[in-house]
Chain A
Amino acid sequence: MANTASPADPTRRDFLYLTTGAMGVVGTAAALWPFIDQMNPDASTRALASIEVDIGAIEPGQSITVQWRGKPVFIRNRTPEEIEAAKSVPLAELRDPLARNDNAAADADASDANRATDGMENILVMVGVCTHLGCIPLGQQGEYGGWFCPCHGSHYDTAGRIRKGPAPENMHVPVYTFVNDTRLRIG
């Protein structure tokens, strides 16, 4: 038979078959990659970087929700009592010890100071998405006076930190800067 009857140089024959087969596999895999990668966010989605929000009209004890990258962002002007309540929690009591703040170091602890910005600590900015399975928590509810997620019962405190329930992490703080006292730039 054609592929059994060449005792002359079996090594060269095998090498040829192996190389050809390997090239076929590599070529097919390379050709398939664009079909998968096209599902990743496209250039226009990646470029939707930042929004600016007017925060001058938010009274203490009020919140607004704005949309950023398709997700809700909570901006809350916290009352002194809420800030005090958040500060008084010992770090050891927190379920998630990390700040989850993109403006701070990745390993920063979850103290209230690391959740807000120095000098503007009454303004709490965070992505309003429960870290459990992505529902939007309700404001000023739950056992810790912060946020409560109705989907699966996660309780967040007044600094947006997870205290009770199935969610594993504190609500995430996006990158933001204060353009001036009344304008906030997210992203």
Chain B
Amino acid sequence: MSGHSTYEPRTGVEKWLERRLPIVRLMHDTAVSYPTPRNLNYFWTFGAILVFMLVVQILTGVVLAMHYAANSAVAFQSVEAIMRDVNWGWLLRYMHANGASMFFIAVFIHMFKAMYYGSYKEPRELLWILGVIILLLMMATAFMGYVLPWGQMSFWGATVITNFFTAIPLVGEPIQTLLIGGFAVDNATLNRFFSLHYLLPFMIFGVVILHIWALHVSGQNNPLGIDTKSEKDTVPFTPYATLKDVFALVVFCLFFGWFLFFQPNYLGHPDNYIQANPLVTPAHIVPEWYFLPFYAILRAITFDIGPINSKLGGVIAMFGSIAILVFLPWLDTSKVRSARFRPLFKIFFWVFAITCVMLGWLGSRPAEGGYVLAAQLFTAYYFAHFLIVLPLLGFLETPKPLPTSITDAVLAKNGGHAHPVGAAASPEKH
């Protein structure tokens, strides 16, 4: 943050590299001496967990691609060959399938943390927007990955999602035909989805690097939401944040492992163990759980809005529910970041969180009767939260007084007993 690097090359190799490619300095500044606020809680470990999950997904994915055949005639059988015959194939495939779910669990927690503590506010708007782009890329990657096993849900999920595009007036159908490479989802669709499913994670990786870069320019937010004022407010990333992150990561792996080893099919749908059949639609088409809130919003628009028919309206609402996140930094008019000092926002935050959970549950229900009405109510609040509540709260709410600095708040919490060390000084100095 302060901009100057504390790295000093010591060994010969480091000195040689320093004059040619200062990559050791980059690593040192990024992961060793980088000052992190001393008061971060465990919600701040999800960044590291997400990097880990991205690596796990890429590694297992590369390995699965060595055995998978992207051809509609044999794709289903090749996945089963992985499950039955390839050495450790069942482990790698369950890791990849459940890993996607874990990735989304972590990313949702990461996002709600940012919303609760106002991490998207000035000067971190771009950091947040890059995160929304990562979310979009993740959703595209996960959707296309789910098509690859070529089960019933793969096929019909692909059919339904690509039909979104037919909602666009005039050019919709040509666009859909272009995307799926035929008049219906078929081998051509499977092949291009495999290609893109392999490509997108590397694009995610690229945006993640930008995301981390932006983070290191603006510095991390913290539970108090106030800026770091001096070196006293921070500790060096290594060993403090590193160890905390690794500990949280292993605890997260225990959670991952519970699903991976003891209920690997809990988060999947049984119909995807039936080979794709273009002539039979499953009784209920349900997307993967992490798409359910968005799916509920899509289905909630059952009425025409002026010239926009309900089909186009649903698609607009669904994409709008993600697009609106991009504008969040400007929709929230309050200057105070953390919900700790915003009593009213705190309530609405939880209303919003419950709304998202309820939308998720409603997305898994059949679209009938009371479920539709409920989905419409929650959809209305989802948008009202961003478009009405957040802009108004900034004017109506009286925030609690903010502490003068992170260190003061921490010492007050600890009753002044803790050692007020200048922890920002790197441990390897002296």
Q: Chain A residues with Cβ under 8 A from B86's Cβ?
A: 38, 42-43
Partner of B88, one of A3, A34, A44, A45: A34
If A34-B92, A35-B63, A38-B92 touch, whether A2 touches B87 (CB-CB below 8 Å) is no
Within 8 A of B (CB), among A1-24: 1-4, 24
In the complex, which residues of chain A have a beta carbon less than 8 angstroms from the beta carbon of B63?
35, 38
Contact, CB under 8 Å: B427 / A3: yes
Using C-beta atoms within 8 Å of the partner chain, give the interface range for chain B: 20 to 34
For A24, the chain B residues whose CB sits under 8 A away are 246
**How far, in whole Å, are A24 and B91 apart by their CA atoms in the complex?**
20
What's the minimum C-beta distance from A104 to chain B, rounded to whole angstroms?
Answer: 32
- Tell me the smallest distance from the CB of A41 to a CB of chain B, in Å: 8
B240-262: which residues lie under 8 A (CB-CB) from chain A? 240, 246
Chain B residues 69-87 with CB under 8 Å of chain A are: 81, 84-87
Q: A2-B427, A35-B59, A35-B92 are in contact. Are A40 and B87 (CB under 8 A)?
A: yes
Contacts A2-B427, A38-B66 given; does A43 touch B88 at CB 8 Å? no
Q: How many residues of A contact B (CB 8 A)?
A: 16
Residues from chain A with a CB closer than 8 A to the CB of B84 are: 43
Q: Which 5 A-B pairs have the closest CB atoms?
A: A34-B88, A43-B85, A42-B85, A42-B86, A44-B85
Query: CA A37 – CA B240 in complex, angstroms?
Result: 36
Given contacts A3-B239, A39-B66, A44-B81, contact A34 B87 (CB under 8 A): yes
Q: How close is A23's CB to chain B, nearest CB, in angstroms? A: 10
Closest to B89 in A: A38
B427 touches A4 (CB 8 A): yes
Please name all residues of chain A whose beta carbon is closer than 8 Å to the beta carbon of B89 when the two chains form the complex.
38, 42
Q: What is the CB-to-nearest-CB distance from A49 to chain B, in angstroms, rounded to a whole number?
A: 15
B81 interface neighbour in A3, A37, A42, Cβ under 8 Å:
A42
Residues in chain B near residue A35, CB distance under 8 A = 59-60, 63, 92
Q: B239 — nearest CB in chain A belongs to which residue? A: A3
Contact A42 B427 (CB under 8 A): no
Q: Mark B183-202, 1 if CB is under 8 A from A, else 0.
A: 00000000000000000000
Nearest B residue to A40, CB-CB: B87
Q: Report whether A38 and B427 are in contact in the complex, using a CB–CB cutoff of 8 Å.
A: no
B400 beta carbon closer than 8 Å to chain A:
no
Q: Which residue of A lies closest to B90 (CB)?
A: A34
| Nearest CB of B to A77, in Å | 37
Query: Within the assembled complex, what's the spacing in Å between the Cα atoms of A37 and B88?
Result: 8
Residues on the A chain within 8 Å of B240, using CB: 2
Among B63, B86, B91, chain A packs the most CB atoms within 10 A around the CB of B86
Closest to A35 in B: B63
* B67:A38 contact, CB within 8 angstroms: yes
Contacts of B239 in A (CB 8 A): 2-3
Complex A-B: 22 CB contacts under 8 Å: A1-B421, A1-B425, A2-B240, A2-B427, A3-B239, A24-B246, A34-B87, A34-B88, A35-B63, A35-B92, A37-B87, A38-B66, A38-B87, A38-B88, A38-B89, A38-B92, A42-B81, A42-B87, A43-B84, A43-B86, A44-B85, A45-B85
Chain A residue nearest to B247 (CB atoms) is A20
Tell me how far the C-beta of B66 lies from the nearest C-beta in chain A, rounded to whole angstroms.
7
Give the distance to chain A from B342, nearest Cβ to Cβ, in Å.
34
Q: Within the assembled complex, what's the spacing in Å between the Cα atoms of A35 and B63?
A: 7
User: Which single residue of chain B is at the shortest CB-CB distance from A2?
Assistant: B427
What CA separation (Å) do A92 and B139 show in the bound complex?
Answer: 71
In the complex, what residue of chain A is closest to B422 when comparing beta carbons?
Answer: A1
User: B257 → chain A, closest Cβ, in Å?
Assistant: 11
CB distance from A43 to the nearest CB of B (A): 4
Which residues of A24-65 have CB atoms within 8 Å of chain B's CB atoms? Answer: 24, 33-35, 37-40, 42-45
Cα-based distance from A54 to B92 in the complex (angstroms) = 42
Chain A proximity mask over B36-70: 1 for CB below 8 Å, otherwise 0: 00000000000000000000000110010011000
Question: What residues of chain B lie closer than 8 Å to A1, measured between beta carbons?
Answer: 421, 425, 427
Task: Tell me, in angstroms, the Cα distance from A2 to B85 when the chains sit together.
Answer: 51
* Complexed CA–CA distance, A24 and B247 (Å): 11
Q: Which residues of A contact B59 (CB under 8 A)?
A: 35
Shortest C-beta distance, A86 to chain B (Å), equals 42
Measured between beta carbons, the chain A residues less than 8 angstroms from B92 are 34-35, 38
- Give Cα A45 to B87, complex, Å: 11
Q: Enumerate chain B residues within 8 angstroms of A4, measured Cβ to Cβ.
A: 427
- With A and B bound together, what is the CA distance between A2 and B235 in angstroms? 11
Q: Which residue of A lies closest to B240 (CB)?
A: A2
CA distance A92 to B227 in the complex (A): 87
* Residue with the greatest number of chain B CB neighbours at <10 A, chosen from A34, A37, A44: A34
Per-residue A-contact encoding for B81-116, CB less than 8 Å = 1, 0 else? 100111111011000000000000000000000000
CA distance A113 to B246 in the complex (A): 65
Give the residues in chain A near B66, CB-CB below 8 Å: 38-39
For B425, the chain A residues whose CB sits under 8 A away are 1
Q: How far is the CA of A40 from the CA of B67 in the complex (A)?
A: 11
A1 to chain B minimum Cβ distance, whole angstroms, is 5
Q: How far is the CB of A68 from chain B (nearest CB, A)?
A: 20
* B residues 379-423 touching A (CB-CB < 8 Å): 421, 423
Q: How far is the CB of A7 from chain B (nearest CB, A)?
A: 15
**Bound form: Cα–Cα A42–B83 in Å:** 11
Complex Cα distance, B89 from A45, in Å, reads: 14
In the complex formed, the residue of A with least CB distance to B95 is: A34
1/0 per residue, CB under 8 A from A, across B348-380: the answer is: 000000000000000000000000000000000
